[in-house]
Amino acid sequence: WADREMPVLRLIRERFEKEKPLTGVKLVACAHITTETANLARTLQAGGAEALLIASNPLSTQDDVAASLVADWGIPVMAIKGESIETYVSHVKAALDTNPNLIIDDGSDVVATMLKEKKELIDNLIGTTEETTTGIVRLKAMQKAGVLNFPSIAVNDAQTKHFFDNR
């Protein structure tokens, strides 16, 4: 149903299937593992990206969606409904081991872990996005401390996010 209810993303995916603008891009997405996120992941994959998903909130993970992404689409997912904090942290670190070019973050955990434990990845990073207010506060603190040396888009501040989240 997400494909039917997200016509703009469907159109982008159709264009991406032809143009492959993300060929060679390694992408880590820390997000709620839902049908909507699956639709985004399929679109990024259609564009040529090597996408890997991890859960931003283990309580919202839909295990059937995660399993389908792996089995039906070949998109790696490291997420288990109700996973422990230790498992979550191990997933963040394993995702960073893929040496991503782009990071879609939710709460800035992936970015914070990279800056604390894997600074060498910055050289290969194009940039990041951040979905949440909390994550943006963390990014601003990193910027003030002089450690945020790459572009990061505050998706939370976009008018379209306010439109969809608050209507």
pLDDT band at 167 (very low <50, low <70, confident <90, very high): low
3-state secondary structure of 108: coil
The answer as to whether 136 is a domain residue is yes
- Whether 28 is in a domain gets the answer yes
Per residue in 108-161, pLDDT tens? 999 999 999 999 999 999 999 999 989 999 999 999 999 999 999 998 777 776
At residue 36, the pLDDT reads 93
In a domain, 157, yes or no: yes
Question: pTM score, two decimals?
Answer: 0.91
Position 160 scores a pLDDT of 73
Q: How many domains does the chain have?
A: 1
**Domain CATH for 122:** 3.40.50.1480
Helix axis angle, 63-73 relative to 35-46, nearest 10°?
20
Closest CA to 29 of 42, 19, 11: 42
Residue 14 lies in a domain: no
Domain that holds residue 128: 2-8+21-166
pLDDT tens digits along 54-92? 999 888 999 999 999 999 999 999 999 999 999 999 999
pLDDT at 156: 77
Determine the distance from the C-alpha atom of residue 127 to the mean position of all C-alpha atoms in its chain, rounded to a whole number. Answer: 12
Assign residue 127 a region: left if phi > 0, alpha if psi is -120 to 50, beta otherwise? left
Q: Is residue 15 part of a domain?
A: no
Asked whether residue 16 is domain-assigned, the answer is no
Q: What is the pLDDT of residues 3-56, one digit of tens each?
A: 788 889 999 999 999 999 999 999 999 999 999 999 999 999 999 999 999 999
Tokens 């049908």 belong to residue: 35
Residue 13 within any structural domain of the chain = no
